[in-house]
Amino acid sequence: MNGSAHFRMRLRGILRKEVLQILRDPSSILLAIVMPMVMLFLFGYGVSLDAENVPIAVVTGDRSPAARELAARFSLSRYFKSHTTTSMAAAEKAMTEGTVEGIVHLQQGFSSDLATRRQAKVQVIVNGIDANRARLVLGYAGGVLEKWGAVRRSRGEPAAVPAVVIRPRIWFNAAADSRNFLVPGLITLIMTLIGVLLTALVVAREWERGTMEAILVTPIRRLDLLLGKVLPYYVLGMLGMVLSVVVGMYLFGVPFRGSFAALFLLSSLFMLASMGFGLFVSAAIRTQFAAAQISILAGFLPALFLSGLLFDLQSTPRFIQIISHIVPARYFVSISHTLFMAGDVWSVLLPNALALTFMAVLFIALAYRKITKRLEG
Amino acid sequence: MHALRRIVALMKKEFLMILKDPRSRFIIIGPPLIQFFVFGYAATYDLKNVSYAALDESKTAESRQLLSRFDGSENFKRVKTLLSDREINTVIDREDARLVLHIGPEFARRIHSGRPATVQVIVDGRNSNVALIALGYINTIVSKYSEDLAEDSKVARRGPGLVLVSRSWFNRNLQSRWFIVSALGGIISMVVVMILTSLSVAREREFGTFDQLLVAPFTPGEILLGKSLPGMLFGLMDALIFCAGAVYWFGVPFRGTVAALITVLACFIVAIVGVGLLVSSLSVTMQQALLGSFVFMMPSVVLSGFATPIENMPQWLQLATHLNPIRYIIKALREVFLEGADVHMLWPQIWPLIIMAAVMLPAAGWLFRHRAQ
């Protein structure tokens, strides 16, 4: 037999062992197949940043037809579920108890201001605990006012035209549906989970259980061992990715405007970078407990917080932005957002792909160095 | 008396297990602390320095005035000045800027003739939340500009303007960092506790020391108690450190009572220890324990209201979140920090946690005995 036949034989042997190990432990299948489905389902149906039917109290201290009409406009809006009351105290009590999230106050004299003054003021009080939601609510309230002004003008009643109006257009996601942005990000999270967490355990487990010694006495070489660990989990991770993309597209109607070839290529890079990191941690630390902790704290949580998946990176302080450059998920979130919503924009994809390639090579090389065939660390 | 001594002995062993290994000793304090600070800075919905490109076809004093208001705002940063509308496409596609303000040639003329002048805003919707918030900021700046024009009588006005005067309770400047950081400590300490406790039994099983534990003169209840107390102590300690960090480092106001904070945290940690032990007694290997705790943690963090409001979920899912222990601690922490809650006000969040702890711990004990045989 020549060298390459030997190599093939060794590789087949170790691959067989790893695949059997995956298939026999339901927990890794659970993580690769069931978990992505559960998460997609939750993100697709459950999680949304778009507020609708926000409960508010409309306090009309003014009983004029104009005030009543404006109050009715608030109850007609799909963004609000309004309760009209005349007592500010009752509204404030409801707000303290959390039954309403905002108060629209049409003060006494609203209609006379409207008839005689240059300005008529509408007070809106919001619960600021969830600042993001409070901002959206204020925006919606402004929208209701604007529309009412337009309706009044169309009836020939006096209402000033705002000197400047904005005409917004949101590209790639015209309805600003947060699902279109959350689902592609979620795929990053799922792949990180498989890539980092599962692989972090695999080498450490061999050391901890003492089976590494059994492997060390076989003719298996370092490269075989590495490939044997990488390939099965790579397949598992890509399976999770494909499943997520299919469900995202067909069940949740998330648009996919890029090419599948680009998706396959770039997600492979990301998968390799994540697995490289996981294997490196695993080989360097050698106990499952610590490897798991590190992979969660340094792999999974940064992928959630420092990747731009949920929180905007560009608004964070500079040092956070610098740290985020060592998080592989950051590059893949940008890639998947672009692929799903904008298409194959290579000027965005290419720099990210380069960074991922660099990280994949770096981590896999580090892991290769750390997987020694010696007993002493 | 004897039982107490045995539990103390077991606890000592558990503490030694965690503390003797420098790596696991470090893991309990070091990374969670780093996480707390890094994520505390990273996790915000407020936008700063949103990069924008300006296309000013009007080139008048009015249009420059409007743009200077954007340049003067800390929320926006001009990265490019475009010369033609053909450039808009590439600027957005390549993510050079997140939005383009397009002021048409008619801008100043329309203002002076009393017709509404329009500013077209093209926003990159890849991050829909950023797009919406940025539009909100733009709206504020533009309406203010409009009102100022009217106030200075630069434009003729037919009728009164409608002005929205806003005020927000509990968080005057609408800083979303308060919202996130007040609850962040709960999430991170939960991760620490879950991992500590879920691995505690599984590790003994995998090493084979579990059998030794069973033949030692301990009752299953005592083993469980000895295994859960260190997790509770470390969890509570971490959580309290994070709360102190939220107040003294991030400047989140603490308006409630310390008693309320400790009570609700203790109840939460006990409930989470229950979940952790449940996962631990169900799993044979450490890998299963770890993945099991992830299967619990991921969905329950998503459905906790930590990052996205529960109110935005469909009704059936909102009902389901009542089974989620994290939901209660998130709400409770925000109430203690921002609304100034005391134990009495927190009671609606405390009792579900007590019930969960009362169900989880015995269930773990039962499973533990059941699987041990």
Per-residue tens of pLDDT for chain B, all 373 residues: 677 888 888 888 888 877 777 766 766 777 788 888 888 888 888 888 889 999 999 889 888 999 999 998 888 999 999 898 888 888 888 888 889 999 989 888 888 887 778 889 998 888 888 888 888 888 888 888 888 887 776 666 666 666 777 777 777 777 888 888 888 889 888 988 888 888 888 888 877 887 787 788 877 778 888 888 888 888 898 899 999 999 999 888 998 999 999 999 999 999 999 999 888 888 888 878 888 888 888 888 888 888 888 888 888 888 989 999 999 999 999 989 988 888 998 999 999 999 999 998 888 888 877 765 4
The answer to whether A129 touches B171, Cβ cutoff 8 Å, is yes
In this complex, is the C-beta atom of B298 within 8 Å of any C-beta atom belonging to chain A? yes
pLDDT of the residue at B260: 93
- Tell me: do B209 and B291 sit in the same domain: yes
**Pick from A51, A130, A311: CB nearest B42:** A311
User: How would you write chain B as a 3-class SS string?
Assistant: CHHHHHHHHHHHHHHHHHHHCHHHHHHHHHHHHHHHHHHHHHCCCCCCCEEEEEEECCCCHHHHHHHHHHHHCCCEEEEEEECCCCHHHHHHHCCCCCEEEEECCCHHHHHHCCCCEEEEEEEECCCHHHHHHHHHHHHHHHHHHHHHHHHCCCCCCCCCEEEEEEEEECCCCCCHHHHHHHHHHHHHHHHHHHHHHHHHHHHHHHHCHHHHHHHCCCCHHHHHHHHHHHHHHHHHHHHHHHHHHHHHCCCCCCCCCHHHHHHHHHHHHHHHHHHHHHHHHHCCCHHHHHHHHHHHHHHHHHCCCCCCCHHHCCHHHHHHHHHCHHHHHHHHHHHHHHHCCCHHHHHHHHHHHHHHHHHHHHHHHHHHHHHHC
Q: Is the CB of A47 inside 8 Å of chain B's CB atoms?
A: yes
Do B248 and B339 fall into the same domain?
yes
Question: Is some CB atom of chain A closer than 8 A to the CB atom of B19?
Answer: no
Instruction: Answer whether B129 sits within 8 Å of A178, measured CB to CB.
Output: yes
B258 domain-assigned: yes
**HSE-up of residue B60 (Cα within 13 Å, Cβ side):** 13
Instruction: Check whether residue B67 and residue B97 sit in a common domain.
Output: yes
C-alpha pair distances (Å), A224 with each of A8, A230, B88, B179:
9, 10, 51, 49
Q: Which residues of chain A lie closer than 8 angstroms to B19, CB-CB? A: none
pLDDT at position A351 is: 93
Q: Quick one: pLDDT at residue B290?
A: 82
Which residues numbered 353-372 in B keep a CB inside 8 Å of some CB on A? none
Q: Under an 8 A CB cutoff, do A166 and B172 touch?
A: no
Q: How many domains in chain B?
A: 2
User: A163 and B150 in contact (C-beta within 8 Å)?
Assistant: yes
Whether residue B199 and residue A323 make contact (CB cut-off 8 A), yes or no, is no
Take residue B370 and report the two structure tokens written for it.
Answer: 């059941």
CA distance B345 to B336: 9
Residues B87, B185 within the same domain: no
Question: Which residues are registered as beta bridge partners of A81?
Answer: A55
Domain boundaries, chain A: 3-47+177-370, 54-154
What is the pLDDT, as a whole number, of residue A376?
Answer: 56
Q: Which residue of A has its CA nearest to B27?
A: A293
> So what's the pLDDT on residue B361?
87
Q: What is the pLDDT of residues B299-311, one digit of tens each?
A: 888 888 888 888 8
Q: Report the residue count for chain A.
A: 377
Tell me which of B139, B290, B301 to substitute to probe the interface with A (most A C-beta atoms closer than 10 Å): B290
Residue B229: count other Cβ atoms within 10 Å of its Cβ.
17
For residues B211 and B101, membership in a common domain is answered with no
On chain A, the residues whose CB falls within 8 A of the CB of B154 are: 163
B189 and B60 in a common domain:
no
Q: Which of B127, B163, B206 sits opposite A119 (nearest CB)?
A: B163
Flag if A170 and B295 touch (Cβ within 8 Å): no
Residue B187 belongs to what domain range?
Answer: 21-44+176-372
Cβ-defined contacts of A165-168 (< 8 Å, 24+): A165/B116, A165/B117, A165/B118, A165/B119, A165/B142, A165/B146, A166/B118, A166/B119, A166/B120, A166/B121, A166/B135, A166/B138, A166/B139, A166/B142, A167/B118, A167/B119, A167/B120, A167/B121, A168/B120, A168/B121, A168/B123, A168/B135, A168/B138
Tell me the whole-structure pTM to 2 decimals.
0.81
ipTM greater than 0.90? no
Inspect the interface and report whether the beta carbons of A165 and B117 lie closer than 8 Å. yes
B70: CATH: 3.40.1710.10
Q: Do B191 and B309 fall into the same domain?
A: yes
Chain B residues in contact with A297 (beta carbon < 8 A): 27, 31-32, 35
Same domain? For B79 and B29 the reply is: no
Which superfamily does A54-154 belong to?
abc type-2 transporter like domain (3.40.1710.10)
CA distance A121 to chain B (A): 5
pLDDT along chain A (377 residues), means of 10: 78 84 77 80 76 86 84 87 86 84 86 77 85 84 84 76 72 75 87 85 81 79 83 89 90 89 94 91 81 81 85 84 90 92 88 94 89 61
Hey, is the C-beta of A157 within 8 angstroms of any chain B C-beta? yes
Pairing type for strands B76-82 and B99-103 reads unpaired
* B324 & B199 share domain: yes
Please tell me if residue B61 touches chain A, with a CB cutoff of 8 Å. no
Distances (CA, A) of A201 to A28, A297, A373, B289, B291: 11, 14, 18, 12, 11
pLDDT of residue B271: 93
Tell if the CB–CB gap between B161 and A118 is shorter than 8 Å.
Answer: yes
Q: Do A119 and B129 touch (CB under 8 A)?
A: no
Q: Could you tell me if A5 lies within 8 Å of chain B, comparing CB atoms?
A: no
| Dihedral (Cα; A23, A29, A33, A36), 10-degree rounding | -160
Question: A354 with A331: CB under 8 angstroms?
Answer: no
B56 in reach of chain A (CB within 8 A): no
Give the residue from B151, B185, B209 where a domain finishes: B151
Q: Which of B151, B185, B207 is the last residue before a domain boundary? A: B151
Tokens of B1: 């008396």
* Closest among A275, A252, A249 to A263, alpha carbons compared: A249
What pairs with residue A85 in β-bridges? Answer: A59
B83 and B135 both lie in a single domain: yes
Query: Domain boundary at B116, B151, B186, which?
Result: B151
For residue B255 the two structure tokens come to 């308006």
B278 with B131, same domain: the answer is no
Contacts of A177 in chain B (CB under 8 A): 128
Please tell me the distance in Å from A362's CA to the nearest CA on chain B.
23
Whether residues B185 and B252 fall in one domain: yes
Residue A351 in contact with partner chain B when CB distance is under 8 A: no
State the amino acid at position B177 in one-letter form: R
| pLDDT reported for residue B68 | 92
Chain A residues with beta carbon closer than 8 angstroms to that of B42: 305-306, 311, 313, 316, 320, 324
Q: For residue B88, what is the nearest residue in chain A, using CA coordinates?
A: A171
